[in-house]
């Protein structure tokens, strides 16, 4: 029978290229440029070992004599020249940025995924079940919103650090960071999913599924969930930018990624010590990278929100 | 013959889209004389509203008038600058929209809104404007206008609100009013009053009215001239008596034929065959494999006894402080094997709530629902599963009753898989067969609901509903969201299901002519109570309860068609 259906159904890719969303995408220069920039940054972070000139965390590749080399100028002692200069340890700033962005992106993406899953589950439950379940979940969310999220993240980070044994601390730091950012970020997912769930719940296709006798779990996952995902996609994109910034903030404050696995935030923290002694490049380039990364992801999120919301057009 | 105040000449509207230029209005011309009501009728997408919007200069952004002229009182208005257009829009041409809720600002009193509009257009002082506003409220037959003047829109009922909207439209003493489906959101009884009002105002003040509607009954009752539109073009134009009594164009003929007649029961609905949209429903094939419906023990498929439903109006932690609204109040009736039982009533009468309780979508607050002698309200999970296999429902809104993220094939397969009706591997073939039987093209199972029209979606709903071969089908306003030609097709399908498959049906509707055509017995509901149950013929010919009689007199009647 498959030969019948194949004639008339376009492939998934064809459908995607035909969709209104893709059409809107091709018409928006902002979306195209920010996607291009974000993709470039993400790909260079993922393939950092191939793109970077050195592995800045391999002690064997370091030469202290190369310390504080300004960008594009040969070093006074070794004569080596670096695209974006070197830091106090003689590490190539260009390479540290690539490796740092890896950590930043990994933490950001994982934290957003964690927050998303948590938020979707709690939001679906609150919106679908209603009553006391809803009250408890949403009041917890309200309480959490009264604290600045960076404070919540620091609190979680502090507690987690306190209970992990000292020898695992550096290894665990990244995961604790993810947990801290994720836990401080689930609220907006939960709120949006709850609202959308309550709207979808009243629609007749849910009634039809009830009438068939589908269990609640199946109605939630198979019927409602796919219909509440488009606002989630928007929030996830915008949250990704925020999570990257939150990670940088925490690391800048010294409660994030350890110096052995520096993220962009850690690099900025290290760099700001040298800002006033003339070695501006150690701070400037990681900060610019953070800015461009967060901005491109954020613009993409903004565009996505407008494109998926026909009322704003 | 008086001179036309507004004339539309060869107007074409274009909308550039990514798939090319779309022309929702093609070369449309008509005139309006003072005091005349011109009906513009057609199905959804015929371009009738778009023409109205073009007249008042309210086309949404990408749409524009590409050709043609609009003349108002001897002055060409379609090519005026935006500022001029805006001035004319309020002053010379007013608009009455479909939804009275959204056309009034909820934050201001009715009086404030009227006075503001009056002062904007007529150079009057505050007290004069107020006097005028009260006079207008009086003119649109709102009782106690002085008192009502200071009330907010939410304190008015739907019909009263639409009167306020009409008063607002009259503020600037316009010469033309464009009324876009002004009564579609209203109940029949209120619809008749509002239409009468528009009629008398047009005559008294010699205002030309463009009445855009899809409802032939409204056209017959209200208008003198009618323009029939199809796919953006005017297909027929003339006096209402002429067009309805002796339609010339095949589309008009088929459209009028499809309107359900209130006064005579027919075997089937005449279907609109214009435009080649007819699809075949293969009832014979379906009937061949349908199991012989076993008769219920008492001859009564469903008995409802003292059914009650209360909704919380205002909740409170203290139970005694919680107030309730009784939506369904002690309703009892029974439905016999193989019959179509209708429930009619105006909006808010509780008819849909009854249907939803029977479908176990609402919990009951008292009373019994006996299905083949078994009380549904007291069933355990396993018995409920058995019950749900035997009942199915078709919903009003074909756009919300299908999950937009599921393929049509998966939607129809869901009940089959859930009830484990077929061995694995045969489901797909059965789904394709069902979709074919309800008249959908091959390959429909791989598409998503948004790729189908309203009528096609309702066919998909029917395929899903009959997938488990139920004995009892609940239809909750199954055609009220559809055009009249599509309505005829869907109603014929439902008739076939009852006739050939022996399905028992509960048919909920506010549309009396449709109920008369469909049902064997009819119950009338009013504010939660059942006030009359009788055979359809008896009920329509000799109603016992005064409320039923009133409803029947308000039914829009196409006098021109009765002899047909």
Instruction: Point out the residue among A8, A204, A214 whose CB comes nearest to the CB of B418.
Output: A214
- Within 10 angstroms of residue A252's Cβ, the number of other Cβ atoms is 20
Give the gap in angstroms from C-alpha A210 to the nearest C-alpha of chain B. Answer: 7
Counted across chains A and B, CB pairs separated by less than 8 A come out at: 72
Q: Which residues of A touch B447 (CB under 8 A)?
A: 9
- Which residues of chain B does A5 touch, with a Cβ-Cβ cutoff of 8 Å? 443, 445-446
At B231-277, the pLDDT tens digits run 888 999 999 888 888 888 888 888 888 888 777 777 777 765 565 55
Q: What is the mean pLDDT of residues A166-195?
A: 86
The torsion angles phi and psi of B410, rounded to 5 degrees, stand at: -70, -35
Write the pLDDT tens digit of every residue in B283-322. 777 777 777 767 777 788 899 999 999 888 777 777 778 8
- How far apart are alpha carbons A21 and A25 in whole angstroms? 6
Closest residue in A to B443 (Cα–Cα)? A5
| B414–A211 CB contact, under 8 Å | no
ipTM of the complex: 0.79
Q: Which of A11, A212, A215 to mutate to test the interface with B (most CBs of B within 10 A)?
A: A212
Q: Flag if B395 and A209 touch (Cβ within 8 Å).
A: no
Residue B76's DSSP bridge partners are: B71
Do residue B406 and residue A226 have CB atoms under 8 angstroms apart?
yes
Q: How far is A30 from chain B (nearest CA, A)?
A: 20
* A207/B361 CB distance under 8 A: yes
> What pLDDT, on the 0 to 100 scale, is given for residue B304?
92
DSSP structure string for B93-122: EEEE-S-TTTTS-TTS-HHHHHHHHHHHHS
- Is B428 in Cβ contact with A1 (below 8 Å)? yes
Asked whether residue B522 carries a pLDDT value surpassing 90, the answer given is yes
Amino acid A309: pLDDT:
66
> Which of B385, B396, B400 is nearest residue A213 as measured by Cβ atoms?
B385
How far is it, in rounded angstroms, from Cα A59 to Cα B134? 89
Kindly compute the dihedral angle of the four CA atoms of residues A224, A244, A293, A43, in this order, to the nearest 10 degrees. -80
Cα–Cα dist B361/B353, whole Å: 9
CB atoms within 10 A of CB A191: 20
Residue of chain A nearest B404, judged by CA positions:
A227
- How would you class B83 by CB atoms within 10 Å of its CB: exposed for 0-12, middle for 13-18, buried for 19 or more? exposed
Q: Which domains does chain B have, with CATH numbers?
A: 283-561 (3.40.50.300)
Q: What is the pLDDT of residue B354?
A: 93
Which region among A109-113, B422-426, B459-463 has the lowest average model confidence (pLDDT)? B422-426
Average pLDDT over residues B13-20: 82
Instruction: Using pLDDT thresholds of 50, 70 and 90, give the confidence band for residue A223.
Output: very high
Task: Among A144-148, A152-156, B355-359, B477-481, name the most confident range.
Answer: B355-359
Could you tell me where the DSSP H helices lie in A253-280? 264-272
Q: What is the pLDDT of residue A312?
A: 46
Model confidence at B560, pLDDT cuts 50, 70, 90, reads low
Q: Pick the more confident residue, B188 or B563.
A: B188
> Residue A169 carries which DSSP code?
H
Q: Distances in Å between the alpha carbon of B467 and those of A124, B74, B142, B172?
A: 30, 62, 51, 58
| A207–B442 C-beta distance less than 8 A | no
For residue B415, name the pLDDT band (cuts at 50, 70, 90): very high
3-class secondary structure, B66: strand
B495 touches B518 (CB < 8 A) = yes
- Residues in chain A with CB shorter than 8 Å from the CB of B389 are 213
Residue A9 has pLDDT above 60, yes or no: no
Contacts of A212 in chain B (CB under 8 A): 388, 414-415, 418-419
Measured CA to CA, the distance from residue B518 to residue B491 in angstroms comes to: 8
Angstrom distance (rounded) from CA B273 to CA B258: 10
State yes or no: pLDDT of B562 exceeds 60.
no
Q: Is the pLDDT of residue B563 over 50?
A: no
> In angstroms, what separates the C-alpha of B444 from chain A's closest C-alpha?
9
Q: Which residues of B touch A307 (CB under 8 A)?
A: none
**B401 interaction partners in chain A (CB closer than 8 Å):** 203-205, 207-208
For residue B397, give the nearest of A204, A223, A226 by CB distance: A204
Fold annotation for A83-312: MetI-like fold (1.10.3720)
pTM: 0.81
Residue of A nearest to B385 (CA): A213
Q: Of B407, B366, B374, which Cα lies nearest the Cα of B390?
A: B374
Distance from CA of B505 to the nearest CA of A (A): 16
Taking a C-beta distance cutoff of 8 angstroms, is the pair B226, B243 a contact?
Answer: yes
Contact (CB<8Å) B405/A226? yes
Tell me the CA distances in angstroms from B139 to A88, B38, B143, one per residue in order: 87, 22, 10
Between CA B57 and CA B51 the distance in angstroms is 10
Domain boundaries, chain A: 83-312
Average confidence score pLDDT of chain B: 86
Among A110-114, A174-178, A219-223, B331-335, whose mean pLDDT is lowest?
A174-178
Q: What is the mean pLDDT of chain A?
A: 83
Percent of chain B whose predicted confidence (pLDDT) is above 70: 95
The whole-number pLDDT of residue B275 equals 56
The DSSP 8-state label assigned to residue A60 in this structure reads G
B-chain CB neighbours of A226 within 8 Å are 403, 405-406
Comparing A26-30, A32-36, A113-117, which segment has the lowest mean pLDDT? A26-30
Query: Distance (Å) from the C-alpha of residue A20 to the closest C-alpha of chain B?
Result: 9
Which pLDDT value is given to residue A303?
Answer: 86
Average pLDDT over residues A90-105: 85
Rounded mean pLDDT, B122-148: 88
Q: Taking CA atoms, what residue in A is nearest to B396?
A: A204
Judged against a pLDDT cut of 60, whether residue B473 lies above it is answered with: yes
Contact A212 B388 (CB under 8 A): yes
Render pLDDT for B74-102 as a digit per residue (tens, 0 to 9): 888 888 888 888 888 878 888 888 776 77
Determine the residue of chain A that is closest to B362 in CA distance: A207
Residue to mutate among B405, B443, B481, B508, with most A CBs inside 10 A, is: B405
- Report d(CA A301, CA B83) in Å as an integer: 37
Residues in chain B closer than 8 A to A211 (CB atoms): 359-361, 388, 391-393
Decide: B558 and B513 in contact? Cβ < 8 Å: no
Task: Give B21-33 as a DSSP string.
Answer: EEEEEEEEEEEE-
Kindly indicate the confidence band of residue B440, based on its pLDDT and cuts at 50, 70 and 90.
confident
Inter-chain CB proximity B446 and A8 less than 8 Å: yes
Ranges A48-52, A75-79, B101-105: which has the least confidence: A75-79
* Range A140-159 average pLDDT: 84
Tell me what percent of the residues of chain A surpass a pLDDT of 90: 24
pLDDT of residue B194: 85
**Interface with A, mutate which of B15, B357, B401, B403 (most A CBs under 10 A):** B403
Cβ neighbours of A1 in B, within 8 Å = 428-429, 432
Looking from the CA of B268 toward its CB, the CA atoms found within 13 Å total 12
């Amino acid at each position: 029978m498959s030969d019948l259906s194949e004639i008339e159904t376009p492939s998934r890719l064809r459908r995607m290229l035909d969709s209104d969303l893709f059409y809107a995408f091709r018409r928006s220069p902002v979306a195209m440029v920010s996607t291009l920039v974000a993709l470039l940054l993400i790909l260079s972070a993922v393939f950092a070992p191939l793109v970077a000139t050195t592995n800045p965390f391999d002690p064997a590749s370091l030469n202290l004599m190369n310390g504080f080399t300004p960008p594009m100028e040969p070093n006074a002692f070794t004569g080596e020249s670096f695209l974006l200069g070197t830091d106090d340890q003689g590490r190539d700033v260009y390479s540290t940025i690539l490796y740092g962005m890896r950590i930043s992106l990994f933490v950001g993406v994982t934290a957003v995924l964690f927050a998303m899953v948590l938020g979707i589950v709690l939001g679906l439950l609150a919106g679908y079940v209603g009553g006391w379940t809803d009250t408890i979940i949403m009041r917890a969310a309200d309480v959490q919103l009264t604290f600045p999220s960076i404070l919540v993240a620091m609190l979680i980070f502090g507690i987690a650090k306190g209970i992990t044994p000292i020898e695992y601390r550096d290894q665990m730091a990244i995961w604790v960071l993810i947990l801290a950012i994720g836990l401080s970020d689930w609220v907006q997912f939960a709120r949006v999913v709850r609202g959308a769930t309550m709207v979808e719940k009243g629609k007749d296709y849910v009634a039809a599924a009830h009438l068939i006798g589908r269990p609640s779990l199946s109605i939630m996952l198979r019927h409602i969930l796919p219909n509440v995902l488009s606002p989630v996609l928007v929030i996830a994109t915008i949250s990704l930018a925020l999570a990257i910034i939150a990670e940088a903030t925490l690391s800048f404050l010294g409660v994030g990624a350890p110096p052995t696995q520096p993220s962009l935030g850690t690099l900025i923290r290290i760099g700001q010590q040298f800002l006033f002694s003339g070695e501006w490049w150690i701070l400037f380039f990681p900060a610019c990278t953070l800015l461009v990364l967060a901005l491109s992801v954020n613009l993409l999120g903004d565009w996505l929100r407008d494109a998926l919301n026909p009322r704003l057009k | 013959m008086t001179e036309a105040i507004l004339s539309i000449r060869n107007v074409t509207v274009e909308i550039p889209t990514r798939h090319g230029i779309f022309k929702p209005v093609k070369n449309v011309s008509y005139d309006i004389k003072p005091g005349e009501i011109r009906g513009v009728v057609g199905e959804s997408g015929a371009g009738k509203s778009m023409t109205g919007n073009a007249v008042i200069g309210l086309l949404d952004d990408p749409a524009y008038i590409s050709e043609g002229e609009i003349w108002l009182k001897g002055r060409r208005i379609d090519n005026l600058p935006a500022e001029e257009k805006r001035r004319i829009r309020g002053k010379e041409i007013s608009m009455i929209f479909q939804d009275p809720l959204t056309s009034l600002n909820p934050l201001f009193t009715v009086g404030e809104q009227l006075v503001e509009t009056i002062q904007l257009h007529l150079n009057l002082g505050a007290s004069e404007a107020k006097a005028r506003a009260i006079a207008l409220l009086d003119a649109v037959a709102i009782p106690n206008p002085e008192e009502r003047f200071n009330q907010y829109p939410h304190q008015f009922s739907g019909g009263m609100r639409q009167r306020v909207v009409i008063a607002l439209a009259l503020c600037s003493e316009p010469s033309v009013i464009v009324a876009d489906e002004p009564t579609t959101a209203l109940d029949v009884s209120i619809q008749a009053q509002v239409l009468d009002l528009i009629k008398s105002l047009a005559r008294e003040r010699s205002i030309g009215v463009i009445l855009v509607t899809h409802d032939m009954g409204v056209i017959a009752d209200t208008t003198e001239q009618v323009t029939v539109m199809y796919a953006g073009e005017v297909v027929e134009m003339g006096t209402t008596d002429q067009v309805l009594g002796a339609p010339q164009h095949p589309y008009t003929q088929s459209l009028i034929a499809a309107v359900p007649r209130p006064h005579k029961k027919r075997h089937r609905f005449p279907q609109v065959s214009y435009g080649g949209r007819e699809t075949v429903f293969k009832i014979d094939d379906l009937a061949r494999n349908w199991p012989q419906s076993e008769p219920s023990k008492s001859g009564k498929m469903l008995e409802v006894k003292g059914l009650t439903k209360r909704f919380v109006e205002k909740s409170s932690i203290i139970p005694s402080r919680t107030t309730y609204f009784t939506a369904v109040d002690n309703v009892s009736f029974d439905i016999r094997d193989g019959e179509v039982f209708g429930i009619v009533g105006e909006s808010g009468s509780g008819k849909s709530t009854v249907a939803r309780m029977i479908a176990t979508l609402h919990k009951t607050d008292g009373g019994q629902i006996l299905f083949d002698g078994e009380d549904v309200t007291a069933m355990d999970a396993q018995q409920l599963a058995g019950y749900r296999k035997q009942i199915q429902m078709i919903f009003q809104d074909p756009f919300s009753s299908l999950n937009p993220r599921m393929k049509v094939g998966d939607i129809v397969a869901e009940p089959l898989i859930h009830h484990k009706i077929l061995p694995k591997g045969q489901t797909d073939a059965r789904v394709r067969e069902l979709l074919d039987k309800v008249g959908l093209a091959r390959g429909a199972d791989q598409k998503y609901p948004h790729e189908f029209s309203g009528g096609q979606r309702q066919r998909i709903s029917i395929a899903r509903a009959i997938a488990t071969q139920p004995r009892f089908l609940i239809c909750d306003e199954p055609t009220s969201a559809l055009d009249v030609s599509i309505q005829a097709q869907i109603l014929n399908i439902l008739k076939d299901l009852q006739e050939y498959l022996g399905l028992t049906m509960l048919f909920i509707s506010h549309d009396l002519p449709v109920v008369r055509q469909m049902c064997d017995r009819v119950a009338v509901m009013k504010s939660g109570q059942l006030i009359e149950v009788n055979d359809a013929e008896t009920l329509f010919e000799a109603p016992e309860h005064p409320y039923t009689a009133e409803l029947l007199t308000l039914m829009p009647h196409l006098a021109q068609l009765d002899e047909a």
